[in-house]
Structure formats: structure tokens, C-alpha cells
A and B are shown apart, each in its own frame.
Chain A
Amino acid sequence: MTKALTLALSLLSAPAWADWQINMNKGVTALSREIFDLHMLIFWICVVIGVAVFGVMFYSIFKFRKSKGAVSEHWHENTTVEVVWTVIPSIILIAMAIPATATLMDMYDTSEADVEIQVTGYQWKWRYQYLDEDIDYFSNLATPREEITNEASKNPNYLLEVDNPLVIPANKKVRFLITANDVIHSWWVPHFAVKKDAIPGFINESWVKVEEPGVYRGQCTELCGKDHGFMPVVVEVKSESDYQQWVSDQRAMKLAMAGEASKEFSMDELVAKGEGVYNTACAGCHQPNGQGIPGAFPAITGSTIATGAIDAHVDIIVNGKPGTAMQAFKEQLSAVDIAAVVTYQRNALGNSVGDLVQPNTIQN
């Protein structure tokens, strides 16, 4: 009945996405399978205890009814029984905690990693820095706004897709150093059984060794403010050679970007580019129409900063405003992006200051 109802309702709005997964993912690492087995073990222990307890209970409910003439007996304690049902569960539970301790020790063994990546949580995106390579980038939600607001139909990876996924090699031990820039986040990939809180001022460690290449998706799991539900984690596991190729591509891209920064751009180019930057980096708080959210996030339209001196405008984007959700964007946006978004904010969203700023004047 409910099934029919939900089915009918889901047909109303979007393609039928029937998916009735009811159990944990086994995952794709030795550790995740170990954890899955622990989960199933404790689950079956609970089932057995449950069957016994509820069995006796339902037996009593059917057998000892007053309406069937049951007369109550008078006993009300029995030390032996009471000791037995205290001691046996204690033993079962302690026995259960022993393999769990062994698994914990594996999880905590972050030594001898082949690749080290720092993962930093920001409101509301992830930053990945490869400590041995010169690679450093941000990973933002890539789901179009229209899908979220139900103006477009939702793609299969709805809310679980990003612009730049984390890329790691298969069959290598990868160590994550997890921290945060503003509030507490938590980095979770269910198929790796890796979940660690990202806490400002702390560096937590975790590790993974994935056997098969593939794409694995997760989400932030610690409430981190407004867009907590919109900062997915996507990890692309590549074969060793593909991974090396990707690393060299990243280097090449970095050089190309540096070249861009010294070019001169026209107003139209900057505004066009700025719109894209605005929508990924700014619109989450300041809203796609630039109106902000009164009391929480200021409007860009008519803002004294976005219509005032251009240096101050550049400054707040480059350096942020400490203690607020307004971050220092110099770490996540290139000089070209910053120049573009500043120009866009001044000449769109209802503003028309008429000036522009070139990337080469932006001091990163």
C-alpha cells in the first residue's frame, strides 16, 4: 500500500528511481569488508537475542491471557536466572568487542602510506592538497541549481557529483590528513568505510587502499551550516598509469593558468566568465540573484562594497572576512576567476558601476 503510494508519487515528479537498498555497503577495501562483517555479526547477535526475548514475550501474551482463564502465579524472583541473564549477555558483548578492537587497530594504522593528501573542509566544499605533488584544488557540488529547485529533472548522480573529484591511485595506501577551515565537517566515503571529522585546528588521519579503479561517492556528515547537504565527496580511483597521467596533466594545466593570468581581458569576457564563478563560489550564500539572505548573508545588489572602491571589493574576496562564512577566496580561485567575479558583481546582478579589474593586478 505504502509502496504503491510512494511509487505513484515518485512517478508524478521524476523518473521512477525505485531503489530499496536496506543494508550497509560492503565497500571496496579489505577494511570496509571487515567492518561490514562486524556489522552483520552484531546484527545477527541482536536478531538471536530478539527472537528469544520476543518469543517468550509473545508466547506469554498468547498463552497467559486472563480471557483464556490464565491465573497468575506468585513467584517474583529467582537469583540463579537473574545471574545467568546478567552474566551471559556480558560475556557475549565483551566477546563481540574483541574482534572490533582488532579492526579498530587496523583503522588507526596510518603508517607507510604511498600517497598523502590533505583534505580540508570549507563551508561548503572540499579542498584537496597532494602533499608530494604540487596539486591543490577545490571540489564543489556540480549539480545544477535547476535540478535542486525542481525546474529540471534530476540526473542519476543528483547531489553526489562535483566539478573536480579527488583522484587517487588504485592499490596504493593513501593517507588522508583531514582538517577544516571554518566549522566542523566530516569526510565520508561509504564504500571505503572512511569517515573522519574535519575539525579546525586539528589534523585527523585516515587511510584507504582501494583495489579496483572506479568512482565512489559520499557526503559531508557533520552539520556545517546552510549547505551541509550540498557538499558531496567524489573519489575517482585510477589505475597506477592513469593516475600518473592525471598528475602530469594537472601540472600542465597549472602552467597554462599562470599564462592566462598575465593576459588582458575585455569587459564582456570578464563578465561572462564571472557569472560561472559567481554561481559556483558565491551564489550559495549571496543567492543567484544577488539578493543575499537578510540577517544571514548580505546582498550583492546595491552593496556598498560591490559598488564602492574596487580595491576594497577585491580585498574582501581575496582575504575574506574572518569569523564569518565569507572566506579568503585567494586559495580557491585563480587571479582570472577573481578578476572575473569582481567585474561580474560590479556590472551585473542589478549593479552597473562600469569598471573592471584585470587579473594581473590581483596580488595572490
Chain B
Amino acid sequence: MATVDVDLPHVKEDDPHHHGPARGLGRWLYTTNHKDIGSMYLIFSLCMFMIGGIMALIIRAELFQPGLQLVEPNFFNQMTTMHGLIMVFGAVMPAFVGLANWMIPMQVGAPDMALPRMNNWSFWILPFAFLILLSSLFMPGGAPNFGWTFYAPLSTTYAPESVTFFIFGVHIMGASSIMGAINIIATILNMRAPGMTLLKMPLFVWTWLITAFLLIAVMPVLAGVVTMMLMDIHFGTSFFNAAGGGDPVLFQHVFWFFGHPEVYIMILPAFGIISEIIPTFARKRLFGYASMVYAVASIALLSFVVWAHHMFTVGMPLVGEVFFMFATMLIAVPTGVKVFNWVATMFRGSLTFETPMLFALAFVVLFTIGGFSGLMLAIAPADFQYHDTYFVVAHFHYVLVPGAIFSIMAATYYWLPKWTGHQLNETMGKIHFWLSFVGVNITFFPMHFVGLAGMPRRIPDYALQFADFNSMASVGAFIFGFSQLVFIYNVIQNVRVGEKATAQVWEGAQGLEWTLPSPAPYHTFSTPPEVK
């Protein structure tokens, strides 16, 4: 990011004629304040993270040993499905939207989001979407049990009745995401402070701008595919029903045309966060700002032409296999560039290792390991051996847990003092970090091994040769799961008590948000700052 020189008209933003927050429940129901809405998104995401986490622990408890111990296979499938859906749509995506709400206006010097009422609406429909989805657990026939990728016809002709509620829930989530994305684009494009040109924007803003375009492009595709399912289930069409002349593979093409950009939706904002944190704690400007922006943009573009690398075994024509293999190899290049840039930022810097930095460093290493397994998966002939095994499970958990989730934690620790006005308790932060770091690796690293040895994913019971690594993974999962209680404790404690934080908070931090007092007042930048 280009260094920002700021000319602040008033440091104290609390103009007397500006009202503070309303009191009581109404504040949260009717609020149009980006900070309130950001907080609600983050709290919502944390709740979903806990619910999805409990489901993960049920899965890992069942897989602790061979044999069926705790749950029936059908319920096991409901758990894997709901875990995936809740973590993707309920935990990771809303957390990034929450961070965007809090930080984007403050980082571009805007008083609020561009469309505050829509902001309220796009948050408040989310809890209903997830209530609908979760309520399906109590319906006859049970919750969706066809995997988070819900391949037809398992999710249409052979689905439990609750699939209709699932479709409804997905529509609402999609609407929420699209509104959120429109709002973010409108804010970034129209409400930057004078002097903040596009190439002066912080990378978190850049990555979110690009992510928002991805969202607008692919959420309608997701809505389309679930609508086609709805038609097949209730209105007698046969989009995906071979017996009626339809095509089950069409489902996968449409789903992954959404699904692959979706995985980048879950990682681009993380790239932005890491690109904010590493320079702060290296006390050195981000290396290759421009190439970072171009890398993100090219990842976003390429992400539209790699979708069928999820489908190497469906029996595509040879040219299709080859095309998607090459395209996927290409997308790894800008991803690599980002990693090189982060490392170059640290090189000859002046490093300290506060909690946000620890999470950011773990992100760089472990995300890169996930990138390596991604490269391996991209080799189509080898993917015939990897596909739908635990190797894939290891891959996407490496990019999503120590990837996306660690970046969210890093961001929370990084900006928390700005939100609450209290300095972080470093000891507790470090305890949380080390427990999570150890837990994550014990959980997911052995999954590479069992996957290569031949264990398929999404099975409630397995052959004896996979037993050892599975019990290891289960132990790790419980360590990781319970260490998140430390995170919750840290956040709650920080809201309540703590040393008073300065405006600067972190010695090396740069950017408009650090020119504001901590905690940031309810209304900020009512008069735009001037960026030189």
C-alpha cells in the first residue's frame, strides 16, 4: 500500500449534533451503522463457527475408531453436509463481510457504507436463512444429507423432504451475499476520501472489491442451480434426471462454476488481511503492492475457467481434462506470487511477533502447504487417485482453516483494540495461537496420509489400515475445537477490560483506521480526511 499522509480536519469525530447509538434491542434491529452491523456479522459468524464446530466434533468422534459407535450413517451424512454448509456460508463468508463492514469505511475514509439500510437488511435475513437450514435437523427424514456440494440426483430424486427448506435457505443466503457485495462495491467506488486513488487503497479494500465482483457473478449461478433442483423436485422438470432426458453432470458444471470462484471468495479477503498485518509487524512496506493487486485480479479472472478440476473423474473428453489441468496450473502462479511477496516483505524488515503476526505467519506457511496439495490435485492423472479421498479433505481444510479462519482470527486480534479501545492480552492470545496451531496440524496433516493410502471421504466407518491416523486426527480436532474457547474468552475479556489502547495500537501500523481514536467513535470520518 502506498503510504498515506493524512490531513485530519478534526481528530475528535463526535460532533454534538450526531447522535450516538440508540438504546436497547432496537439499536441492533434498526441499526444502519456499519460498525454495529459489522459486529453483528462477526458475532453471528462466531455462533455458526461454534455450531459447525460441534458437528465437526461429532464427525471426528465417530471416526475416532473403526466401527459404528455414536451415530447412524444417515445422521453422519447430515453432519458432514451441515458442517460444510454452515462453515462456508455461515462462518467464513459472514466473518469476512463483518470485517468489511467494520474496516472498509474506516480504511477508505468514508462515514459509513454507501447503502446503510440495505446493509441492515442483508444482515438480518441471514439468521433466518440459518434457522431454516438448522430446523431441517428436526424434520422427518432429517436434514440434508447429500454433502455440501449436493450433487443431483442424490439431492433431488433421492433427497429427504427437507431439501426444499435447504433450497429456500440457500436463496436467502445468496440474496444476503449479493446485497452485501453491491454495498461494498458502491462504498469503495464512491466513498473514498479525496486523494485516495484506487492504487492507494489498502489491500484489504482491494481484495474485497474483487471478491464482491466474484460474489455478484456467481451467487446467481448458485441460485440458478438450486432453482433447477426445485423445479426437478416439485414441478416435474428433468434438468438433472437422466430418466427424463436430463443430465446429472450438468449439475456439477453449474455447481462448480459457482463453487470454484466461491473458494476464492473465501480466500481473497484473507490475502488482504495478511497483506495488512505482515507489513505492520515487519515495519516495512508491503513488497510489490501493484503486483499483489494484479495477482488478485488474475486469480479472480482465472477462477472462472478452472471449475472442472473438481470433475476430472466424471468422464470429460480428453481435451477438457487437459484444458482444465493447464488452467489450474496457471492459477497457482499468481497465488505463488502472493506468497513470495509476503516473504520478501519480511526480508530485511524489523520483525516482532504479536498474536496477529503469529496467526499471519502460520497462515503463510500452512496456506502454502494447502496450495502445494492444490498443485498436486491439479495434475489430472494423479487426481484420479486423489479425488474424493481424504487427500482432498486435507487440501481444502489447509486452505480454509489455517487459511481463511486463521486470517479471520488474525484480523480480529489486529483490529480488536481499535474496536474496543483495549490493548490485547498477549499472553492469552499466544496461548490461543499455539493451541490452535498444534491442533490444526494434528487434525489435518494425517489426512494427507490416509487419503493417499486410499481412504474415501464422507464415510462413517473405515477399513482397519486407516485407524491410527484417524484417531490422531480426532484427538487434534478436539484440541483445536476446545482451544477456540480461549478465543471467545479473549474477545469477551477484551471488550470488558484491558489497558487503554492508543490510536496507533501497533507501532508499525499504517492507514487511515489508525488515525482514529481507539475505540473508534460511533461515527467516523463524517468529514472526509484528505489523503495526499
Question: Which A residues lie at the B interface, using CB under 8 A?
Answer: 2-3, 5-7, 9-10, 13-14, 17-25, 34-35, 38-39, 42-43, 45-46, 49-50, 53-54, 56-57, 60-61, 64-67, 70-78, 81-82, 85-86, 89-90, 93-94, 96-97, 100-101, 103-105, 107-108, 123, 147-150, 154, 156-160, 182-184, 186, 188, 190, 193-197, 199-202, 204-205, 218-230, 293-296, 322-325
Contact A221 B389 (CB under 8 A): yes
Which of B199-207, B254-262, B328-336, B411-419 interfaces with chain A? B328-336
A94 touches which of B329, B337, B343, B387 (Cβ 8 Å)? B329
B288 CB within 8 Å of chain A: yes
Cβ contacts A to B, 17 pairs, < 8 Å: A76-B289, A76-B345, A77-B288, A77-B289, A86-B291, A103-B381, A107-B384, A108-B321, A149-B68, A195-B313, A195-B384, A199-B242, A225-B158, A295-B141, A295-B160, A295-B161, A296-B141
Contact A25 B351 (CB under 8 A): no
Residues of A within 8 A of B74 (CB): 226, 293, 296
CB contacts under 8 Å to A, within B453-475, are 453-454, 456-469, 471-472, 475
Contact B385 A200 (CB under 8 A): no
Known interface pairs A67-B352, A154-B67, A190-B385. Does A76 touch B285 (Cβ–Cβ under 8 Å)?
Answer: yes
Contact B68 A150 (CB under 8 A): yes
Residues of A within 8 A of B326 (CB): 94, 97
Return the CB mask of B333-351 against A: 1 if under 8 Å, else 0: 1101101100111111111
Residues of A within 8 A of B389 (CB): 221
Contact A196 B68 (CB under 8 A): no
- Minimum distance in angstroms from A141 CB to a CB of chain B: 11
- Minimum distance in angstroms from B418 CB to a CB of chain A: 22
A72 touches which of B243, B284, B286, B372 (Cβ 8 Å)? B284
Contact A223 B146 (CB under 8 A): yes
Complex Cα spacing A322 to B349, Å: 67
Complex Cα spacing A199 to B152, Å: 10
Closest to B373 in A: A46
Closest to B248 in A: A199
- Minimum distance in angstroms from A331 CB to a CB of chain B: 16
Instruction: Select the residue from A3, A148, A188, A201 with max chain B CB neighbours within 10 A.
Output: A201
- What 9 A-B pairs come out closest when comparing CB atoms? A201-B242, A229-B459, A295-B140, A295-B141, A204-B315, A46-B372, A76-B285, A221-B388, A93-B329
Known interface pairs A38-B381, A46-B372. Does A100 touch B325 (Cβ–Cβ under 8 Å)?
Answer: yes
Residues of B within 8 A of A94 (CB): 326, 329
Contact B73 A20 (CB under 8 A): no
Question: Which B residues lie at the A interface, using CB under 8 A?
Answer: 64-69, 72-74, 77, 139-142, 145-147, 151, 153-154, 157-158, 160-161, 242-243, 246-249, 282-291, 313-315, 318, 321-322, 325-326, 329-330, 332-334, 336-337, 339-340, 343-352, 361, 364-365, 368-369, 372, 375-376, 379-382, 384-385, 387-389, 442, 448-449, 452-454, 456-469, 471-472, 475
Contact A85 B337 (CB under 8 A): yes
Complex Cα spacing A153 to B41, Å: 49
Contact A188 B158 (CB under 8 A): no
Residues of B within 8 A of A46 (CB): 372, 375-376
Residues of B within 8 A of A188 (CB): 388, 456
Residues of B within 8 A of A202 (CB): 242, 248-249, 315
Contact B314 A197 (CB under 8 A): yes
B66 touches which of A20, A158, A200 (Cβ 8 Å)? A158
- Minimum distance in angstroms from A227 CB to a CB of chain B: 6
- Minimum distance in angstroms from B467 CB to a CB of chain A: 6
Contact B452 A200 (CB under 8 A): no
Contact A296 B348 (CB under 8 A): no
A2 touches which of B460, B465, B475 (Cβ 8 Å)? B475
Main secondary structure of the interface of A (DSSP, over half): mixed
Contact A159 B463 (CB under 8 A): yes
Complex Cα spacing A76 to B459, Å: 49
Complex Cα spacing A71 to B306, Å: 43
Instruction: Select the residue from B340, B364, B448 with max chain A CB neighbours within 10 A.
Output: B340
Residues of B within 8 A of A73 (CB): 284, 348-349
Closest to B455 in A: A219
Contact A295 B142 (CB under 8 A): yes
- Minimum distance in angstroms from A287 CB to a CB of chain B: 10
A70 touches which of B340, B349, B384, B463 (Cβ 8 Å)? B349
Complex Cα spacing A10 to B465, Å: 12
Known interface pairs A19-B464, A72-B284. Does A57 touch B325 (Cβ–Cβ under 8 Å)?
Answer: no
Contact B329 A96 (CB under 8 A): yes
Beyond contacts A104-B322, A190-B454, A196-B315: 20 other A-B pairs, Cβ-Cβ < 8 A, are: A17-B465, A35-B384, A39-B382, A64-B348, A76-B289, A77-B290, A82-B288, A85-B337, A86-B333, A93-B329, A108-B318, A150-B68, A154-B66, A159-B463, A190-B385, A221-B388, A225-B77, A228-B77, A229-B73, A295-B160
Complex Cα spacing A23 to B450, Å: 8
Residues of B within 8 A of A183 (CB): 151, 153-154, 157-158
Instruction: Select the residue from B145, B349, B462, B475 with max chain A CB neighbours within 10 A.
Output: B349
Residues of B within 8 A of A67 (CB): 352
Contact B350 A66 (CB under 8 A): yes
Residues of B within 8 A of A105 (CB): 318
Residues of B within 8 A of A159 (CB): 66, 461-463
Residues of B within 8 A of A323 (CB): 157
Residues of B within 8 A of A65 (CB): 350-352
Instruction: Select the residue from A57, A90, A107, A325 with max chain B CB neighbours within 10 A.
Output: A57
Contact B157 A57 (CB under 8 A): no
- Minimum distance in angstroms from A77 CB to a CB of chain B: 5
A10 touches which of B318, B376, B468 (Cβ 8 Å)? B468
Contact A93 B333 (CB under 8 A): yes
- Minimum distance in angstroms from A320 CB to a CB of chain B: 13
Contact B351 A10 (CB under 8 A): no
Contact A104 B321 (CB under 8 A): yes
- Minimum distance in angstroms from B298 CB to a CB of chain A: 10
Known interface pairs A93-B375, A158-B463, A294-B140. Does A184 touch B475 (Cβ–Cβ under 8 Å)?
Answer: no
- Minimum distance in angstroms from B62 CB to a CB of chain A: 11
Contact A223 B350 (CB under 8 A): no
- Minimum distance in angstroms from B453 CB to a CB of chain A: 4
Closest to B141 in A: A295
Contact B464 A74 (CB under 8 A): no
Contact A223 B151 (CB under 8 A): yes
B472 touches which of A6, A77, A86, A294 (Cβ 8 Å)? A6
B379 touches which of A5, A42, A75 (Cβ 8 Å)? A42
Known interface pairs A53-B368, A295-B141. Does A97 touch B291 (Cβ–Cβ under 8 Å)?
Answer: no
